Amino acid sequence: LLRSASQLLRRNRRRDYSAAAGGQPERKVAILGAAGGIGQPLALLMKLNPLVSSLSLYDIAGTPGVAADVSHINSPALVKGFVGEEQLGEALEGSDVVIIPAGVPRKPGMTRDDLFNINAGIVKGLCTAISKYCPNALVNMISNPVNSTVPIAAEVFKKAGTYDEKKLFGVTTLDVVRAKTFYAGKANVPVTEVNVPVVGGHAGITILPLFSQATPATNALCHEDIKALTKRTQDGGTEVVEAKAGKGSATLSMAYAGAVFADACLKGLNGVPNVVECSFVQSTVTELPFFASKVTLGKNGVEEVHGLGQLSDFEKEGLENLKGELKSSIEKGIKFAHAN
Ligand code: NAD
Ligand code: LMR
């Protein structure tokens, strides 16, 4: 018995080591909404990720074509397409990470909350299937309004008895991607070296970039610059929606952001140390039950939810101002899940 235990330990250590080296555990990733504007480029990026061994592409229409196309790329991930609800179970079974960009996007003049009526039901249905077919998967929620869809997912999982707060993530990486890009441009520092935490939620003023903590630090920016950078980050989604003029919202930058976050989840699962990304998760950082902040990702999902650190007076004010809207968006999601 002792010998087999030590063999198991050695094997697990080898598994950790190979994972830390960019490694080899078999990992299945499912994308729900894979034929959409985000889904297609995200499928491409996940097919290129060496940590993915199986890539499952699910949508209500169009996935056979996307899967056939992506599957010809000579990278290791085995790609399968699934279409229609009767194939959802097979698409999900055995998944380690499920990424959800299913649902309608905004048009000019709409808020993310205007998507609630359609997307809440879509997310609820997909999460019900996740709780049945891959209850241990890490769920990366992209569908808007994220401030409400994450609480909906949590309630669906609670009802099914499968909720694990360490495994549910609202994807806010695009806010970080934007904050990094805008800061680098304004501060004139190399964009690849920039880091900026973005906390709160994912809609308008609930998006709170913490430029006072940005690295590399700079004294080239005055208060007006920081205010403008904050506003541009908060309105980044609207900037794209308006530029696309009725043809949807961010898809390419979102696919990139979604791929960055899913990669971080996979690295965490594989035992790579110190993997930190911002995400909208169950939280005690403020009085709100869900909140985006820096999170360390580990073998079971969330390993640590980080606090906010030192805030500037401007950021403290932003934090107080966002709480009302974020609270009501969270409550709206919970109420929907209970009523439906
Ligand atoms: P899209 O319309 O191009 O694609 C959505 C896809 O979802 C379509 O292919 C559609 O068939 C599919 N779909 C609809 N119902 C489904 C169901 N029940 N099961 C599986 N698939 C289903 O939209 P998009 O541009 O890809 O955006 C998708 C969502 O992502 C929107 O809600 C958008 O607001 C959101 N979004 C979030 C972020 C973020 O930062 N979190 C960024 C950009 C967009
Ligand atoms: C974004 O931030 O680009 C997304 O949330 C899409 C949107 O509606 O703005």
SS (H, E, C) 187-224: HCCCHHHCECCEEECCCHHHEEECHHHCECCCCCCCHH
Task: Give tens-digit pLDDT for 39-74.
Answer: 999 999 999 999 999 999 999 999 999 999 999 999
Question: Is the pLDDT assigned to residue 323 strictly greater than 60?
Answer: yes
Taking the complete model, does pTM exceed 0.90, yes or no? yes
Mutate to test the pocket of ligand 2, among 106, 198, 202, 280 (most ligand atoms within 8 A of CB): 106
Residue whose CA is closest, atom 43 of ligand 1? 250
Average pLDDT of the chain, as a whole number: 94
- In terms of phi and psi (left: phi > 0; alpha: psi -120 to 50; beta: otherwise), the region of 245 is left
Task: Give tens-digit pLDDT for 185-220.
Answer: 999 999 999 999 999 999 999 999 999 999 999 998
Contacts of 132 (CB under 8 A, 6+ apart): 89, 160
18 pLDDT band (50/70/90 cuts)?
A: very low
What single letter denotes the amino acid at residue 267?
K
**What pLDDT is attached to residue 25?**
94
Q: How far, in Å, is the centroid of ligand 2 from the Cα of 238?
A: 7
What single letter denotes the amino acid at residue 302?
V
Q: How far, in Å, is the centroid of ligand 1 from the Cα of 318?
A: 29
Q: How far, in Å, is the centroid of ligand 1 from the Cα of 29?
A: 17
Q: Which atom of ligand 2 is nearest to the CA of 110?
A: 8
**What pLDDT is attached to residue 23?**
52
Q: Which of helix, strand or coil describes residue 169?
A: strand
Q: What is the mean pLDDT of residues 16-38?
A: 77
Q: What tokens does 36 get?
A: 């959409």
**What pLDDT is attached to residue 256?**
98
Contacts of 65 (CB under 8 A, 6+ apart): 35, 81
Task: Give tens-digit pLDDT for 94-124.
Answer: 999 999 999 999 999 999 999 999 999 999 9
Question: Does ipTM surpass 0.95 in this model?
Answer: yes
Structure-derived torsion over alpha carbons of residues 105, 255, 276, 217, reported in degrees to the nearest 10: -90
Question: Is the pLDDT assigned to residue 22 strictly greater than 80?
Answer: no
Q: What is the mean pLDDT of residues 300-322?
A: 98
340 pLDDT band (50/70/90 cuts)?
A: confident
Percent of the chain with pLDDT over 70: 93
Contact (Cβ atoms closer than 8 angstroms) between residue 52 and residue 46 = yes
Q: What tokens does 12 get?
A: 């697990």
Q: How far apart are CA 6 and CA 187, in angstroms?
A: 53
Contacts of 130 (CB under 8 A, 6+ apart): 92, 98, 137, 139, 157
Q: What tokens does 224 get?
A: 């007006």
Residues in contact with ligand 1 (CB, 6 Å cut-off) = 32-33, 35-39, 59-61, 101-106, 115, 119, 122, 125-126, 142-144, 146, 171, 174, 202, 248-251, 254
290 pLDDT band (50/70/90 cuts)?
A: very high
Q: How far apart are CA 218 and CA 196, in angstroms?
A: 12
Contacts of 138 (CB under 8 A, 6+ apart): 96, 97, 98, 167, 168, 169, 265, 269, 301
Q: Which atom of ligand 2 is nearest to the CA of 241?
A: 9
Task: Give tens-digit pLDDT for 173-185.
Answer: 999 999 999 999 9
